[in-house]
Amino acid sequence: MGLLTEKQIAARMKKLKGWKRNGAQIYRTVVKKNFVEAMGFVQSVALLAEKADHHPDIDIRWNTITLVLSTHSEGGLTHKDFDLAEQINALR
């Protein structure tokens, strides 16, 4: 797959709403109405992640979910991270 260059990362970040970068990873925090809705959202993310064979780190605090993406096998950000982030953004 290969790591993205700084220029590629900047271009992908411009198009990716709600996500921020922290070094070799991107992250997004989502707040749902309650814990049940939060868990439903996490389940939807899990299905996307399994299909993509690319799994985010997920932190759940009641109704607040933080998703972190990085391609650990490559040691940084790849297209897989941004592709999955875009799919996650399409969830309601």
36-70 pLDDT per residue, tens: 999 999 999 999 999 999 999 999 999 999 999 99
- Listed residue (89, 54, 53) closest to 70, CA to CA: 54
Per-residue pLDDT band at 92 (split at 50, 70, 90): confident
β-bridge mates for residue 60, sequence order: 65
Are the C-beta atoms of residues 89 and 30 closer than 8 Å to each other?
no
Taking the domains of the chain in order of start, what are their residue ranges? 6-89
Fold of 6-89: Gyrase A; domain 2 (3.30.1360)
Tell me how far apart the alpha carbons of residues 54 and 74 are, in angstroms, rounded to a whole number. 12
Buried residues in 57-66 as b, exposed as e (16+ CB within 10 A): eeeeeebebe
Helix or strand holding residue 88 (H, E): helix 79-89
**Full-model pTM:** 0.95
User: CA 40, 87, 34: angle at the middle one, nearest 5?
Assistant: 25
